[in-house]
Amino acid sequence: MKKLGDTVTGWAEDGPIGKTKLYVAINSGELPARKHGSSTIILTEDYLVYLKSLPEYEPAQAAA
């Protein structure tokens, strides 16, 4: 079965972004989250949209 969502801790353990940065994104409104009791849950769909919204990597210019 496809994962529908996970907690902030779960995403931080599995993904490229740590807990602190995830909470910053949640508190700024960039990343939607839901509450279930004391757990903060991020839906997979919202997490992927957030990741895709991050700026693309631009390589540094080579020194001449």
User: In order along the chain (64 residues), what is the average pLDDT of each group of 10 residues?
Assistant: 90 95 98 97 97 93 73
> CA 24, 28, 48: angle at the middle one, nearest 5?
75
Reported pTM: 0.85
Is the CA virtual torsion 44, 21, 17, 28 positive or negative?
A: positive
Quickly list DSSP for 21-40. Answer: HHHHHHHHTSS--EEETTEE
